[in-house]
Amino acid sequence: MRYRAARCVGVMLVEFQQALADMVASPEFCRQVRVSPLFLHERYTLSEREFERLIKMVNHKAMALNCMLYRANRLAPLAMNLHEFCTLLGTRLVRCYRNTHFFRRKYTCLIHP
């Protein structure tokens, strides 16, 4: 019987971690939880303690910063590898850029005053 209780707690911990990760990754999800906290119980199997902690976290003023840092960290690998990516694209990148609306509009204005 003790093993089953430990397994159940492990499952709840995983659900807690998933709920926290989902909140950090989605400001929209944070807003939904702020408006309707019971939304967490609909999506995750949480103990009462985990539920209360998540509600306190989502309402904390630093949660917006947490979401912002998550997004910045998602962009970091892209920024670090942008030079190599552009080098690999080579002339294909130039063709793609010339086909954009921005390029055509900018240089069309210069050609046809």
Q: Where are the domains of the chain?
A: 1-60, 75-113
Q: Which two tokens stand for residue 27?
A: 């400001």
Q: What is the pLDDT of residues 53-101, one digit of tens each?
A: 999 999 999 999 999 999 888 888 888 888 888 888 888 887 777 777 6
Angle at alpha carbon of residue 65, lines to 33 and 22, rounded to 5°: 40
Of 113 and 95, the structure prediction assigns the larger pLDDT to 95
Say what the pLDDT of residue 113 is: 45
User: Which one-letter DSSP state was computed for residue 26?
Assistant: -
Give the pLDDT band (50/70/90) at residue 6.
Answer: very low
Contacts of 64 (CB under 8 A, 6+ apart): 27
pTM of the model: 0.61
